[in-house]
């Protein structure tokens, strides 16, 4: 493994034992983040992202009259997807179990 490689994240993310051993084979310099710091960063990032999502949802006509509690719950479960030009998001006749909110770009029917 070389510069830019990340390791040890599984133990931090899932509070589990190490899944691998890593040993330096040359003189190495590493950046390290402990669990409390990582969790604090992730929590702050999550709160920040949720705030942005709620603000955006309030501008969407379908959601504009919902209270903040409901918008917050919707914001927590939103997932971001990306589509290239000419790629189908949905196709007529398919079973639908997901709805979409356009956050950037344009689509056609």
Q: Where are the domains of the chain?
A: 9-77
What does each of the 109 residues of the chain score in pLDDT, given as a tens digit?
Answer: 888 888 888 888 778 888 889 999 999 999 998 889 988 888 888 888 889 999 999 999 999 999 999 999 999 899 889 999 999 999 999 999 999 999 999 999 8
pLDDT at 21: 92
* 34 and 55 Cβ atoms separated by less than 8 Å: no
Q: DSSP of 20-33, one letter per residue?
A: S----SS-------
pTM of the full structure: 0.60
């Amino acid at each position: 493994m070389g510069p830019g490689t990340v390791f040890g994240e599984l133990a931090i993310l899932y509070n589990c034992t190490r899944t691998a051993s890593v040993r330096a084979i040359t003189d190495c310099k590493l950046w390290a983040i402990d669990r409390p710091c990582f969790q604090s960063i992730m929590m702050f990032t999550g709160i920040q992202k949720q705030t942005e999502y709620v603000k955006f949802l309030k501008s969407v006509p379908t959601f504009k009259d919902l209270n903040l509690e409901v918008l917050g719950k919707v914001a927590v479960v939103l997932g971001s997807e990306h589509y290239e030009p000419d790629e189908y998001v949905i196709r007529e006749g398919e079973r639908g179990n997901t709805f979409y909110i356009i956050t950037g770009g344009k689509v056609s029917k």
